[in-house]
Amino acid sequence: MIAAGTGLAIGGSADNAALEASLQALERSRADRADLALVFVTGDTHPRAHEALHAVRRVTGARTVVGCSGTGILADHREIEDTPAVAVLAVRSESLVATPFLFGRQGECQDLGTEVAQQIGATVAEGGCVLVLPDAMGCNPPALLAQIHEMLGFVPVLGAVAAGTPMFELYNTEAAQGALVGVALSGLAPLIGVAQGCAPIGEPFVITRADANVIQHIGNRPALQMLEDAIRALPGAADRIRRSGVFAGLAMDPAKSPLERGDFLVRNLIGADQASGALAVGERVRVGQTVQFQIRDAEAADQDLRAMLEELTTRLAGRRAAFGCYFNCAGRGRGLFGTPDHDVTLIRQHLGEFPLVGFFGNGEFAPIGRQNFFHNYTGALVVFPEA
């Protein structure tokens, strides 16, 4: 049995807002106390963050409290941007095992991922996931993910980089800066959906010549020529690209065919050589890997999120989500879609009512296939179904 509830308070002092949000969350969970509380706040709550965390612990009784600041936060049906707010998720479950961690000066630790893995290894030995909430200062996502994988193998890593002015991390009753906080969760089976905000253009082709992060030939033709062909194949592509941009989608599983949405890791095109027709990509590539170019704008992001949620609905197979977290990029939200509450509205339409909490961050962590990556302009959703 999983009992969960969320609370959202807008405006006022941070400690009063946290008190109000915590009371809502515990009441809606219908539990007498929580085992885990996730707390997301806007940056302007920092002066009273310590008092806010005491309010959360006092009301919920949660042994584990983690969270961070964002440029905005979300809960249930609302996405709050540019307004002081506090969101709280309270979870009670006898099967839940939660192991929190705090590293106060992440930039000074060369083996941060190794140390995280040592703390959480026993918790995720038989499954589960890890939520990571690092500060932007001193954050090294590739090293963090590589070291966790080296120690533990594949364990889904989700979360986002703290954001806001100032940005800070929350751990029990402490508000830290320059830190990494997080929590390993096991005993519940997570389902993960990743919306990278892109729609494919052209057709997928195999990389036939490459070096490091430079694609020289695709399908035995210059990569730049293949990109131009893909752009010409999409009606209105030139106008859309001027407003947004075009990216490379790199297939992660060499054995999968046909390739579908969610099988590609989207990365920036960071350079082009007109003379040779080569393209530089923000990720290492290899000969034999399939690539398909992608376009990213509001229309593509809307379509991609809808497709991700349809897939997640299928995987839920009629089960209800007991609770979930949504890590959204600060580059999305109202600034991208021109309307408030875009993503949470679609989540509700597809998955129904369940306690949901999250924030707008400076980059997102989520797996593609069975490999963890750091993303930008992405929405990463993890839900925990009822048994």
- Chain centroid to CA 254: 24
Q: Where are the alpha helices (DSSP H) in the chain?
A: 14-29, 49-60, 112-120, 141-152, 223-232, 237-243, 298-316, 333-337, 342-351
What is the reported pLDDT for 237? 67
Average pLDDT, the chain: 95
CA distance 333 to 87: 17
Lowest mean pLDDT across 129-143, 227-241, 258-272, 344-358: 227-241
CA distance 139 to 112: 10
CA distance 265 to 286: 14
* Peptide bond preceding 258 in cis form (omega within 30 of 0): yes
Give the max Cα distance, the chain: 68
Residues 132/119, Cβ–Cβ less than 8 Å:
no
Residues 297/244, Cβ–Cβ less than 8 Å:
yes
Token pair belonging to 224 = 């730049």
CA distance 242 to 272: 17
Nearest to 179 by CA among 68, 100, 15: 68
Residues 264/252, Cβ–Cβ less than 8 Å:
yes
**Between vectors from CA 214 to CA 202 and to CA 206, what angle results, nearest 5°?**
40
CA distance 204 to 11: 48
What is the reported pLDDT for 18? 98
pLDDT tens per residue across span 23-56? 999 999 999 999 999 999 998 999 999 999 999 9
Residues 78/8, Cβ–Cβ less than 8 Å:
yes
Other beta carbons less than 10 A from residue 387's beta carbon: 10
Spatial CB neighbours of 152, under 8 Å, sequence gap ≥ 6: 117, 120, 121, 124
What is the reported pLDDT for 317? 94
CA distance 261 to 258: 10
pLDDT tens per residue across span 164-174? 999 999 999 99
pLDDT tens per residue across span 81-112? 989 999 999 999 999 999 999 999 898 888 99
Q: Is the pLDDT of residue 236 over 80?
A: no
- Share above pLDDT 70 across residues of the chain, in percent, rounded to a whole number: 99
Lowest mean pLDDT across 71-80, 101-110, 370-379: 101-110
Provide the 8-state DSSP code for 43: G
CA distance 237 to 295: 8
Q: What backbone torsions phi and psi does residue 298 show, to the nearest 5 degrees?
A: -60, -40
